[in-house]
């Protein structure tokens, strides 16, 4: 009876302390060590692998049930110690390229990562050239703290992935060895895409892997760059393909990049079409018909933008004066959409086409201006009526005061 | 002709009271006489409320689906609808302001003292009713701010011990603020409150007519002026001034309509009640969640109720004034109350 009570107590205390019966000797020993020898256990304990019972021995080999270090680290039990770059790729591929194995955990899981990786510059450097400076799976996903990509703590979560790439691509010395500038990350962080990602927390904003691919990482070629941007900017790509610039790749020009740059993409402005500092001037001069097209498009767009701003001011002015402007505000949204559509239309590089699209926006703006003018006139009418009414009643008030004074004299 | 009509009426009705009012009634004239005019200003705004309220009723539809649209229709399509609606909203606020000024004026002049205790009590009830008008009327446009503010306002009723939840259900017509709440707020706003207020107001005015206007303690000036026309003309001057201010505000700062209620949307930030509820709102906000096991909200409501009861009972508490002696402590308390109310209201508005 006494023994049973003691056993129950031990079981309860063990449970309370969180000691699991299936804890491996790797965890038991390494968690007692310090620094880099205990860190893998701490990191692994929060990882997706730990949650799915993939333990140390699955990658490092050895005997996780052994009672001492020598037996646990036995080469005869397959212990490999710290795997090298090629080993890492192969080890990850053992499971992640095995469709039937991965489906046990997630029926929608991809298993083409290794295949893609082998086609990438990273994969070619590691696997074919045996150049350990390139990235392996662990360089991006972490060695022990591997998490699902959409876990906000994951190294490859959209808001973290740029910094993960920056570990190597932000290192100018290292990048110089591969003939890469190393400015890409800084450029990206100054871009409109980074603003959307970091300031607006828009996870759909592109990061490195959205354009370069994640496992099959490689820069898009001149012919494909416009298709890469077109993944999100569908209309721009469609219009560009219908434009006189569609043959750019044949002369080695890189679609969107020629005007918008690649990593440091700034918010587009009408000034990109201006006759003094427009991007068209990079290739065209003022004697060419393209210059006239640029000039006409710039005039249309700036004219529309000015009108839109004027209209917004009129609507706000009427609203500030107490007029109900909800209908005008709604129409203003439509006009703004039409204006954005007009800016998109510039990618066809046809001033006639732009005029045709901008006409719809102009009609919207004109109608709103008419509405705002009517409301502002109504404000004036109301206020004028009040001046008359107020003035008249004020005179009456004075007369009453005088009457009281004369009565009581 | 006029004499004939007068004789015809005289034969059928006793017009001696009216004659007394128009020919014989006098009002004491002293340096504080202008302070007596704010009751008339409140009455003027109340009349404006009745007239504009009836006009709004011609178009307003008290259902969750139609309320906002009907007010939108009033301010955009109905001729002068914008003015009527704006005047109704501004006048409601100015009426409460006038009542506050009137009440504090009477408080400092100690006009509540014997034999006018019931005039003070009925006046206090009128203030509570006017605030009730404000609370129920605020929801009627069924806009986003009103919807969420009413949710918060009615929530505090639930803190009442034992019957709190039941009261909440009665007030809201269910667990939440819905179309049922709108229907009953509308019914209370246009039938229950007007009936009660007209009754109490009649008593208040009758008491003033019966007892005449009070003269502050220690006032030596013995002058009297006839009620008609001298005091009446002063009233008229105040009403004209009030009308100019009211129409000016309605014209230059038309009352906002806000956005239609979206019951699935989360409450917008910074929801606050009307200015005259801000002192109570801030008091409740300052209460801790629990204090020695009692809910903070209940403590807050109890404190507000005690303050209200003390104001109601002022004529019976100020024994000195009832003996026609000066009571400086009540004056000091009144000054402190004004400073506190203004400070807490400003703090609550801008915090």
Q: What is the rounded distance in angstroms from the CA atom of residue A307 to the CA atom of residue A68?
A: 80
Higher pLDDT pick, B161 / A150: A150
The rounded percent of chain B whose pLDDT value lies above 70 is 100
Residue B9 lies in a domain: no
Nearest CA to B114 among B314, B348, B287, B328? B314
Stretch A349-361: mean pLDDT, rounded?
Answer: 91
pLDDT recorded at residue B262: 86
Confidence of residue B24 (pLDDT cuts 50, 70, 90): confident
Q: Which residues of B touch A385 (CB under 8 A)?
A: 251
Distance from A404 to chain B by nearest Cα, in Å? 7
**Stretch A1-12: mean pLDDT:** 54
CB within 8 Å: A393 and B240: yes
**Poorest-pLDDT segment among B215-229, B269-283, B301-315:** B215-229
- The yes-or-no verdict on residue B274 having pLDDT over 60 is yes
Q: DSSP for B243-255, please give it.
A: HHHHHHHHHHSPP
Asked whether the ipTM of the predicted complex exceeds the cut of 0.90, the reply is no
Nearest to B225 by CA among B18, B35, B30: B30
Comparing CB atoms, the residue among A324, A403, A408 nearest residue B257 is: A324
Q: How many CA atoms lie within 13 A of A196 on its CB side?
A: 14
Is B120 part of a structural domain of the chain? yes
Determine contact, residues A112/A96, Cβ cutoff 8 Å: no
Residue B176 CA to residue B62 CA, distance in Å, equals 17
For tokens 């402190």, the residue is: B336
Confidence (pLDDT) at A190: 94
CA distance A288 to chain B (A): 54
**Per-residue b/e over B155-167, b at no fewer than 16 CB within 10 Å?**
ebbbbbeeebeee
Task: Say yes or no: B253 contacts chain A, CB-CB below 8 A.
Answer: yes
* Whether residue A147 has pLDDT greater than 80: yes
Query: Averaged over A275-289, what is the pLDDT?
Result: 88
Distance (Å, whole) CA A193 – CA A203? 10
For chain B, give the mean pLDDT: 92
State which of A81-95, A144-158, B42-56 shows the largest mean pLDDT: B42-56
How far is residue A397's CA from residue A393's CA, in Å, rounded to a whole number? 6
Exposed e or buried b for every residue in A318-343, given b needs 16+ CB within 10 A?
Answer: bbebbbbbeebeebbeebbebbeebb
Check A389 against B230: CB less than 8 A apart: no
- Tell me the residues of chain B between 210 and 229 that have a Cβ less than 8 Å away from chain A: 225, 229
Q: Is B191 on the interface with A (CB under 8 A)?
A: no
User: Which among A382, A397, A404 has CB closest to B251?
Assistant: A382
Enclosing domain of residue B71: 24-262+271-350
pLDDT in tens, B25-79: 888 888 888 888 999 999 999 999 999 999 999 999 999 999 999 999 999 999 9
Residue of B73, B244, B248, B249 for testing the chain A interface, max A β-carbons within 10 Å? B244
Ranked by mean pLDDT, the top range of A168-172, A219-223, B44-48 is B44-48
| Residue A252 pLDDT greater than 90, yes or no | no
Chain A residues with beta carbon closer than 8 angstroms to that of B241: 397
Min Cα–Cα distance to chain A from B164, Å: 40
Distance CA A53, CA B337 (A): 69
CB nearest to A403's CB, from B233, B241, B253: B233
Q: Which of A390, A393, A392 is nearest to B237 (CA)?
A: A393
Q: Which of B230, B248, B256 sits opposite A386 (nearest CB)?
A: B248
Banded pLDDT at A18 (limits 50, 70, 90): very low
Instruction: Tell me if B295 is assigned to some domain.
Output: yes
**Hey, what's the torsion of the CAs at B94, B99, B105, B111, to 10 degrees?**
160
B12 part of a folded domain: no
Q: How confident is the model at residue A5 (pLDDT cuts 50, 70, 90)?
A: low
Q: Which residues face B225 on adjacent strands?
A: B27
H helices, E strands: number in chain B: 16, 4
Enumerate chain A positions whose Cβ falls within 8 A of a Cβ in B.
322-324, 382-383, 385-386, 389-390, 393-394, 396-397, 400-401, 403-404, 407-408
**Average pLDDT of span A180-203:** 93
Q: How far is residue A312's CA from residue A323's CA, in Å, rounded to a whole number?
A: 14
Distance from CA of A322 to the nearest CA of B (A): 5
Higher pLDDT, B142 or B212: B142
**Site from B27, B89, B237 to mutate, A interface, most A CB atoms within 10 angstroms:** B237
Q: Are residues B225 and A396, on separate chains, in Cβ contact within 8 Å?
A: no
Whether residue B249 contacts residue B90, with contact meaning beta carbons closer than 8 Å, is answered with yes
Geometric angle at alpha carbon B324, from B323 and B325, rounded to 5°: 90
**pLDDT, greater one: B212 or B18:** B212
A159-173 mean pLDDT: 93
Which of A323, A400, A408 lies at the smallest CB-CB distance from B237?
A400
CATH number where B101 lies: 1.20.810.10
Which residues in chain A are contacts of B252 at CB distance < 8 A? 322, 383, 386
Please tell me the predicted confidence (pLDDT) of residue B19.
Answer: 79
Residues B66-119: tens digit of each pLDDT: 999 999 999 999 999 999 999 999 999 999 999 999 999 999 999 999 999 999
Q: What is the pLDDT averaged over residues B307-315?
A: 96
Counting one residue from chain A and one from chain B, the pairs whose CB atoms sit within 8 A come to 47
In a domain, B308, yes or no: yes
The tens digit of pLDDT for each residue in A37-64 reads 888 999 998 899 998 889 899 999 999 8
Exposure class string for A38-67: b at 16+ Cβ within 10 A, else e: eebbeebeebbbbeeebbbbebbbbbbebe
Instruction: Give the model's pLDDT for residue A221.
Output: 66
- Specify the pLDDT at position A8: 55
Given a cut of 70, whether residue A6 has pLDDT beyond it is no
Q: Is B6's Cβ below 8 Å from some Cβ in A?
A: no
> Is the per-residue pLDDT at A15 higher than 50?
no
Euclidean distance between CA atoms B318 and A274, whole angstroms: 81
Euclidean distance between CA atoms A347 and A359, whole angstroms: 17
Beta strands in B129-267 (DSSP E): 224-226
Q: d(Cα A325, Cα A353) in Å, to the nearest integer?
A: 32
CA A380 to chain B, closest CA, distance in angstroms equals: 10
How far apart CA A286 and CA B112 sit, in angstroms, is 90
**Cβ contacts of A397 on chain B, cutoff 8 Å:** 237, 240-241, 244
Average pLDDT over residues B182-205: 97
pLDDT digits (tens, 9 = 90+) for A23-40: 888 988 898 888 888 889
Q: Which residue of chain B is at minimal alpha-carbon distance from A323?
A: B254
Q: Which of B234, B237, B251 sits opposite A383 (nearest CB)?
A: B251
Q: Is residue B1 in a domain? A: no
Is residue B336 domain-resident? yes
Range B280-291 average pLDDT: 90
HSE (CB half, 13 Å, CA atoms) of B128? 15
Closest Cα in chain A to B82:
A323
Least confident of B121-125, B146-150, B261-265: B261-265
Count of domains forming chain B: 1
Kindly report each contact of residues A116-120 with a partner whose C-beta sits within 8 Å and lies 24 or more positions away, as own/partner: A116/A213, A116/A214, A116/A215, A116/A216, A117/A89, A117/A215, A117/A216, A119/A216, A119/A218, A120/A213, A120/A215, A120/A216, A120/A217, A120/A218
pLDDT over 60 (residue B179): yes
Instruction: Name the residue among B237, B247, B253 with its Cβ closest to that of A322.
Output: B253
Lowest mean pLDDT among A105-114, A342-351, B39-48, B175-184: A105-114
In a domain, B213, yes or no: yes
Q: Is residue B120 pLDDT above 70, yes or no?
A: yes
B260-281 mean pLDDT: 88
- Cα–Cα distances (Å) from A311 to A223, A230, A308, A373, in that order, read 42, 32, 5, 10
Least confident of A299-308, A386-395, B150-159: B150-159
């Amino acid at each position: 009876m006494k023994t049973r009570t003691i056993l129950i107590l031990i079981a309860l205390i063990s449970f309370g302390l969180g000691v699991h019966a299936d804890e491996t000797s790797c965890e038991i020993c390494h968690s007692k060590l310090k620094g880099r020898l205990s860190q893998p256990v701490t990191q692994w304990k929060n990882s997706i692998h730990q949650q799915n019972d993939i333990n140390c021995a699955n990658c490092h080999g050895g005997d996780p049930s052994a009672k001492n270090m020598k037996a646990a680290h036995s080469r005869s039990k397959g212990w490999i110690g710290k795997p090298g770059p090629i080993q890492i790729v192969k080890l990850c591929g053992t499971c992640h390229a095995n469709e039937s194995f991965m489906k046990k955990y997630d029926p929608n899981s991809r298993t083409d990562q290794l295949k893609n990786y082998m086609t990438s510059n990273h994969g070619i450097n590691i696997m074919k050239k045996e150049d350990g400076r390139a990235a392996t799976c662990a360089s991006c996903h972490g060695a022990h703290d591997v998490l699902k990509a959409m876990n906000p703590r994951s190294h490859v979560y959209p808001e973290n992935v740029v910094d993960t790439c920056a570990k190597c691509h932000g290192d100018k010395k290292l990048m110089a060895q591969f003939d890469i500038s190393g400015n890409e990350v800084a450029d990206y962080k100054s871009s409109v895409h980074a603003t959307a990602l970091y300031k607006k927390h828009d996870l759909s904003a592109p990061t490195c892997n959205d354009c370069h691919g994640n496992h099959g990482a490689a820069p898009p070629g001149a012919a494909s760059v416009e298709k890469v941007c077109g993944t999100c900017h569908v209309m721009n790509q469609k219009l560009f393909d219908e434009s006189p610039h569609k043959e750019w790749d044949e002369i080695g020009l890189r679609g969107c990049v020629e005007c918008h740059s690649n990593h440091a993409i700034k918010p587009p402005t009408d000034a990109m079409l201006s006759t003094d500092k427009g991007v068209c001037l990079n290739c065209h001069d003022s004697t060419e018909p393209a210059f006239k097209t640029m000039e006409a498009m710039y005039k249309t767009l700036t004219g529309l933008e000015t009108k839109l701003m004027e209209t917004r001011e009129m609507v706000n002015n009427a609203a500030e004066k107490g007029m109900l402007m909800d209908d005008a505000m709604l129409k203003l949204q439509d006009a703004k959409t039409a204006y954005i559509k007009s800016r998109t239309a510039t990618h066809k590089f046809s001033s006639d086409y732009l005029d045709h699209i901008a006409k719809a926006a102009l009609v919207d703006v004109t109608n709103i201006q008419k509405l705002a003018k009517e409301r502002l006139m109504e404000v004036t009418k109301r206020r004028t009526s009040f001046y008359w009414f107020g003035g008249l009643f004020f005179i009456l008030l004075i007369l009453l005061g005088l009457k009281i004074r004369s009565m009581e004299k | 002709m006029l004499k004939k009509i007068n004789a015809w009426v005289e034969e059928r009705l006793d017009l001696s009271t009216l004659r007394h009012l128009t020919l014989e009634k006098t009002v004491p004239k002293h340096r504080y006489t202008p302070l007596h005019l704010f009751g008339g200003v409140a009455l003027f705004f109340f009349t404006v409320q009745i007239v504009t309220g009836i006009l709004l009723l011609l178009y307003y539809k008290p259902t969750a689906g139609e309320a906002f649209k009907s007010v939108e229709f009033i301010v955009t399509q109905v001729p002068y609808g914008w003015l009527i609606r704006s005047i109704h909203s501004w006048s409601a606020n100015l009426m409460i302001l006038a009542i506050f000024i009137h009440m504090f004026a009477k408080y400092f002049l100690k006009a509540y003292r014997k034999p006018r205790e019931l005039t003070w009590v009925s006046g206090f009830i009128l203030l509570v009713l006017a605030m009730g008008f404000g609370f129920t009327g605020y929801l009627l446009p069924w806009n986003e701010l009103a919807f969420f503010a009413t949710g918060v306002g009615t929530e505090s009723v639930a803190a009442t011990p034992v019957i709190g939840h039941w009261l909440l259900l009665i007030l809201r017509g269910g667990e939440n603020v819905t179309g049922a709440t709108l229907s009953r707020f509308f019914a209370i706003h246009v039938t229950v409150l007007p009936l009660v207020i007209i009754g109490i107001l009649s008593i208040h005015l009758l008491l003033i007519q019966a007892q005449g206007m009070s003269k502050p303690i220690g006032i030596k000036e013995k002058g009297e002026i006839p009620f008609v026309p001298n005091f009446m003309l002063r009233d008229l001057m105040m009403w004209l001034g009030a009308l100019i201010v009211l129409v000016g505000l309605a014209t230059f700062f038309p009352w906002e309509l806000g956005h239609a209620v979206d019951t699935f949307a989360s409450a917008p930030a910074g929801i606050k009640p009307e200015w005259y509820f801000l002192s109570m709102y801030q008091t409740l906000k300052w209460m801790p969640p629990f204090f020695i096991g009692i809910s903070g909200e209940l403590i807050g409501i109890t404190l507000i109720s005690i303050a209200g009861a003390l104001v109601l009972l002022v004529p019976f508490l100020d024994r000195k004034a009832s003996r026609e002696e000066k009571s400086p402590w009540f004056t000091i308390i009144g000054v402190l109350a004004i400073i506190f109310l203004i400070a807490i209201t400003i703090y609550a508005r801008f915090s």
